[in-house]
Every structure is written in C-alpha cells, then in structure tokens.
Amino acid sequence: MGKLIPLLLILIGAGAGVGAGFFLRPAPEPADEETEVVAAPVLPDGDTLTIFEFTNQFMVPLISEERISSVIVIRLALEISEGQQPVVAANTARLRDAMLQVMFDHANLGGFTGVFTDHSTLTHLRRSLLEAAQKTVGPQIVFGVLITDLMRSGG
C-alpha cells in the first residue's frame, strides 16, 4: 500500500497536467490577411479553363557581393480561358519578359533567400506574376499562375 500512494499521485498529477494543457492551450491564430477565398473565374459561355505551360524554364540569378551566388530555376504554367490559347501563344515572349522582371524584382528584395518556399512568400510571388500576366494579355484571359517546378542551384 505504501508503494501505491506515490504511483497514484504521479498518475493524478499527470492527468491534471494533461487536462490543464488541453483546456489552457492557446487560441488558434487568426487567418492571415494573405488567406482569402478565391472565387471561380467568370468565363464566357461554353468556355473552360485550360493550362498553358511555358516550354522553357525561367532562370533567375541570385546576386551576393556583386557575384552570382546561385540560380533559381522555375517552371511556370498559366490557367487561361481555353478559347484564348492563340492569344497567349502569340504573346509568349512578352509574357516571359514581364514575368522575368517580376522574378528579378522578387530576387532583389530577398524573396528567394532563406525559406523561399514558404506559403506566404510563394503566394506573394504568384499574385505578382498573375498581375504581370494580366497586364500583358488581359484579365479575362489569364486566371492563375501555377509554379510547377522550383529549384535553387548552387549557394
């Protein structure tokens, strides 16, 4: 009986600790401002979304101490209205130029350093790429940007 009392006290203490931890846990964090409900795009009647993949990957050099320290290799695709594929294909060079400029700016601001695959960082990059694509070919043509491959080479 003398050995049973300490064991019971340990079990009661552990149970009380678990119960207190459960009831006193912190409240869930509020949703980020970045998190938003994305409405389905409004497409012309009978039209559907399709994917336009860029045939070549994008390469973005990362500069440190006035030298290229590493390179980001990224492959992108666009969610577009199916009827607009010829327009997007005809403007591929302009789209690549606009999107490369966004990625260069992102790199210069340090967006590809540290944990560059963080959700909020990639959300910001996607949003900026979408804005550039929509400015280039129009908001009723491009509805989303997909990052299909992302790799940092070197450094």
> Across residues 150-155, what is the average pLDDT?
83
What pLDDT is attached to residue 40?
A: 54
pLDDT number for residue 71:
93
Task: Please write the tens of the pLDDT for every residue from 1-59.
Answer: 667 777 777 778 777 776 666 666 666 666 555 555 555 556 666 678 899 999 999 99
What lies within 8 Å, CB to CB, of 139 at 6+ separation is none
Give pLDDT, residue 46: 66
Predicted TM-score (pTM) of the model is 0.71
| CA-to-CA dists, residue 67 to 63, 70, 101, 108, 155, angstroms | 5, 9, 19, 13, 11
Helix (H) or strand (E) holding 36: none
Mark out the alpha helices in the chain (DSSP H runs): 4-23, 85-90, 92-108, 119-137
* Model pLDDT, residue 57: 94
pLDDT above 90 for 91? yes
Q: Give tens-digit pLDDT for 104-141.
A: 999 998 888 888 888 888 999 999 999 999 999 988 89
